[in-house]
Structure 1
């Protein structure tokens, strides 16, 4: 599905799973804000060569008018935009960068949770062999250590200003027992602060350099991976500070498509579903 006439100055490109996990690459026009005229292209698959072949059917004069395209850090998306919209700035979505940091925090939490599970299993076996009952340590909020690590998942995604009183107590216990998790959580928060507060690429570049130094000093491997990813894509990440553009519009549009698909479960023919979709958004 290709609608060249919907090509605008600011575009988003993203992928979504539509039918049975099949991936589609979707290009949308930000100016329409998810309404009629939003859909520029919907192409089955995510292979760069296939998508490029379709998008190059858009007249060159239209493609050359594109000044900015938001995307994630996937190499195929970067290549697609580079080849098809040569005059556009490529803007890495800040939320994908922040998501990497959140996932790094969760990786540490999960590692400690598996260790706690192993210790509890060993303690249960030892208690059975000794002929005594096993009573796990219960913390002041009623959690066991294993439960503390499992139940802390959601609070680590949130800013501490948004914690409930229960989450505040749980975080205090968690960070006291696992200071590495506290260090990782602070690093993820500091990265978000850079995106929220920096007003120019120059300031952001300096702040990211300082953040990178903190990552090097902390020695947390998962965050070193995040820092390397930021280094690899730093030009696209810094382009965010030109207009503070994100891929939120594309994510919202993808959610609309999935919701529309869920109301069309009785429609087995994907081509008919796409025809109905085009009537709404093309």
Structure 2
């Protein structure tokens, strides 16, 4: 027995018998302090060992050296159950070649690094690393608890391609709840309906963009939830319309674009002067800009649904002339847009989550399937 190694190893009822190194690995030969083994069926305890089978189990590294534990798996024959019973070990699961703590360590490392990086540092194959991560991710699956405010959003799996993935997030906890490999409403509904009915009935608000499919999803899966069109998606739509007008009037240049789309209150004095010179060159562009700023002001100053609805209807009278299809889209969704004024619910947290999602995807070399990528996203952002 080596007291210092026993303390360092910190495994119950286990002692280090011998320790030796071979190449880049450290091997610890262990023996049990308790001579008796319990039957896993009836808990009968005996020291009459039927057979022992040595196994090697990978454990956490010590001083930068990979560690393997040499353990004898003891088997007894229970005279009461008339069955053979192999001893259960608290620190390693049946059929596994890694300790539980080592598998958890690999899981945490993969959340921060790529599979290849973990594989290199731990001297494991990429497949071994992925299998460990997937196993722990499955075990750590968490329920959604009882979220009250959700967001449905999408992102493209690959830049430049219209292959969208749907993400569901908890707005109050700023956490990712689900990633769905589809942008089709029926397929999204099928996945979300796997959640308990009681949990879905508890959702009070869902923030979405103006894609009609999301509203169908909310109605069918969250029957008690209010649909709230995210204000930032509305402003994005108007900004795009304003930018098209700028291009049609041939006011090109990134500087002009930035001056027009930036919130008026965030412009410094020099930018305000530049913007005024620009707007003076075209009354049409000036009116379009004022409409954009007026919509933002409506969002900031309206305190009730009724007030917001009245202001938006007045705004639409002028906006139809310049913004055309954009104004029609806003008018079509005006009731859900005005639901914002109840609790001022937005999908603002999704901007931060989307940034993290893109970063994780860039670091996810080795995750070749959607399911493995989904596991990593949920592991990092749940």
TM range (shorter): 0.7 to 0.9
What is the match of residue 8 of structure 1? 147
- 2:297 matches 1:158: no
**Higher percent of residues as helix:** 1
**Superposed CA offset, 1:219-244 (max 9, x none):** 32xx1322211211011101101100
What is the match of residue 262 of structure 1? 362
Pick aligned residue for 1:110 from 247, 260, 266: 247
Q: Secondary structure at the match of 1:237?
A: helix
RMSD: 2.1
**CA distance, structure 2, for counterparts of residue 214 and residue 43 of structure 1:** 40
**CA distance, structure 2, for counterparts of residue 232 and residue 76 of structure 1:** 14
Q: 8 Å contact 2:309–2:335 — kept in the other structure?
A: no
Tell me how far 1:70 sits from its aligned partner: 0.5
What is the match of residue 232 of structure 2? 95
- 2:349 matches 1:249: yes
Give TM-score, length-normalised by structure 2: 0.59
Segments ≥4 residues shifted beyond 6 Å: none
Q: 8 Å contact 1:23–1:46 — kept in the other structure?
A: yes
Pick aligned residue for 1:226 from 318, 326, 351: 326
- 2:303 matches 1:199: yes
* Bigger-Rg structure (1/2): 2
What are the within-5 Å matches in structure 2 for residues 162-201 of structure 1?
Answer: 162-201=266-305
What is the match of residue 164 of structure 2? 23
Give TM-score, length-normalised by structure 1: 0.78
Tell me how far 1:3 sits from its aligned partner: 5.4
Say if 1:7 and 1:180 are closer, same or farther in 2 by CA, change over 3 A: same
- 2:74 matches 1:74: no
**Superposed CA offset, 1:138-186 (max 9, x none):** xxxxxxxx66x55301010113332244433432332122111111000
What is the match of residue 47 of structure 1? 184
- 2:378 matches 1:274: no
Q: Secondary structure at the match of 1:54?
A: helix
Say if 1:158 and 1:19 are closer, same or farther in 2 by CA, change over 3 A: closer
Aligned residues: 241
Say if 1:102 and 1:81 are closer, same or farther in 2 by CA, change over 3 A: same
- For structure 2, the 5+ residue unaligned runs are 1-137
Q: Secondary structure at the match of 2:202?
A: coil
Of residues 65-74 and 13-22 in structure 1, the stretch that sits farther from structure 2 once superposed is: 13-22
Tell me how far 1:19 sits from its aligned partner: 4.3
**Higher percent of residues as strand:** 2
**CA distance, structure 2, for counterparts of residue 157 and residue 260 of structure 1:** 29
Of residues 70-79 and 207-216 in structure 1, the stretch that sits farther from structure 2 once superposed is: 207-216
